[in-house]
Chains A and B, each alone.
With several copies, the nearest count.
Chain A
Amino acid sequence: AQDVTIPIIVKDTTSFYWQIVLAGARQAGKDLGVNVPELGAQSEADINGQISILENAVAGSPAAVVISPTEFKALGKPVDEAAQSVPVIGIDSSADSKAFTSFLTTDNVEGGRIAADGLAAAIKATTGKEEGEIAIITSLPGVGSLDQRREGFLDQVATKYPGLKVIADKYADGQATTGLNIMTDLITANPDLVGVFASNLIMAQGVGQAIAENKLGDKIRVIGFDSDDKTVGFLKEGVLAGLVVQDPYRMGYDGIKTALAVSKGEKVEAFVDTGANLVTQENMADPKIDALLNPKVD
Chain B
Amino acid sequence: MSVETTETAPAPKRGMNILFGLTLLGLLLFLWLLLGLATNSFWTPNNISNLLRQGSMTAILAVGQTFVIITAGIDLSVGAVVGFTSVIVAWLLQAGVPLWASIVLTLLIGVAIGAFHGFGIVRMGLPPFIITLATLTSLRGIGLLLTNGSTISINHEGFTDFSRADFLGIPSLFWMVVLVAIPAFVFLHLSRWGRYLFAVGSNSEAARLSGVNVTRTLYLAYILSSTCAAFVGLLLASRIGIGNATQAEGWELQAIASSVIGGTSLFGAVGSVHGPLLGAFILATINNGANLLNVNSFWQRIVTGLLIIVIVYFDQLRRRSSR
Chain A: interface residue total (CB-CB under 8 A): 69
A145 to B245, CA, bound (A): 16
Complex: how many Å from CA A206 to CA B241?
9
The minimal Cβ–Cβ distance linking B102 to chain A, given in whole angstroms, is 18
Name B135-170 residues within 8 Å CB distance of A.
144, 147-151, 153-154, 160-161, 164
Could you write out 13 A-B pairs with CB less than 8 Å apart?
Answer: A14-B149, A14-B246, A38-B296, A46-B249, A48-B239, A60-B39, A71-B244, A74-B241, A77-B160, A171-B144, A185-B287, A228-B150, A297-B148
**Complex alpha-carbon distance, A15 and B244, angstroms:** 10
Interface centre among A81, A140, A182, A297, by most B CB within 10 Å? A182
Could you tell me if B247 and A45 are in contact, using CB atoms closer than 8 angstroms? yes
A46: chain B residues at CB < 8 Å are 247, 249
A266 at the interface (CB under 8 A from B): no
B52 to chain A, nearest CB (A): 11
Contact with B along A213-246 (1 / 0, CB 8 A): 1000000000000001110010000000000000
Residues of A within 8 A of B298 (CB): 13, 141, 171
A52 close to chain B: CB less than 8 A: yes
Closest 5 CB pairs of A and B: A185-B291, A142-B246, A141-B149, A16-B150, A74-B240
B87 to chain A, nearest CB (A): 10
Please judge, given known A-B contacts A48-B247, A147-B149, whether A172 and B297 are in contact too, CB under 8 Å.
Answer: yes
Given A52-B54, A142-B149; A47-B244 close (CB under 8 Å): yes
B291 close to A189 (CB less than 8 A) = yes
14 more CB-based (< 8 A) A-B contacts, given A39-B297, A43-B249, A213-B164: A14-B245, A18-B149, A19-B149, A46-B247, A47-B247, A59-B47, A77-B241, A141-B246, A170-B291, A171-B298, A174-B246, A184-B50, A189-B39, A189-B41
CA distance in complex: A53, B296 (Å): 13
Find chain A residues with CB under 8 A from B297 CB.
13, 39-40, 42, 170-172, 182
A177, CB-defined interface residue at 8 Å = yes
Given A46-B249, A61-B41, A142-B246: A230 in contact with B144 (beta carbons within 8 A): no
- Bound-complex Cα distance A19 to B298 (A): 12
Question: Distance in Å from the Cβ of B121 to the closest Cβ of chain A?
Answer: 27
Distance in Å: Cβ of A51 to nearest Cβ of chain B? 7
B288 within 8 A of A: yes
Contacts of A138 in B (CB 8 A): 149
The residue that A186 contacts in the complex, of B39, B44, B150, B291, with Cβ under 8 A, is: B291
Q: Mark B230-265, 1 if CB is under 8 A from A, else 0.
A: 000000100111101111111000000000000000
| Least Cβ–Cβ distance between A296 and chain B, in angstroms | 13
Q: Determine the chain B residues whose CB is within 8 A of the CB of A233 once the complex forms.
A: 153
Is A55 on the interface with B (CB-CB < 8 A)?
Answer: yes
A73 to B147 alpha-carbon distance, docked (Å): 15
Bound CA span A13–B246, Å: 11
Q: How far is the CA of A214 from the CA of B128 in the complex (A)?
A: 41
Q: A141-B144, A141-B246 are in contact. Are A189 and B240 (CB under 8 A)?
A: no
**Which residues of A have CB within 8 Å of B144?**
13-14, 141-142, 171
CA distance A142 to B47 in the complex (A): 29
Q: Do A53 and B148 touch (CB < 8 A)?
A: no
- Chain B: minimal CB distance from A109 (Å): 14
**Is there a chain B Cβ closer than 8 Å to A258's Cβ?**
no
> Which listed residue (A55, A172, A189, A206) contacts B53, Cβ 8 A?
A55
Q: Name the A residues within 8 Å of B244 (CB-CB).
A: 45, 47, 71, 142, 176, 202
Determine whether the beta carbon of B149 is less than 8 Å from that of A56. Answer: no
Name the contact of B246 in the complex, choosing from A18, A40, A45, A58 (C-beta under 8 A). A45
Task: Give the CA-CA distance A185 to B292 in the complex, in Å.
Answer: 6
The answer to whether the Cβ of A159 comes within 8 Å of any Cβ in the partner chain is no
CB of B294 within 8 A of chain A? yes
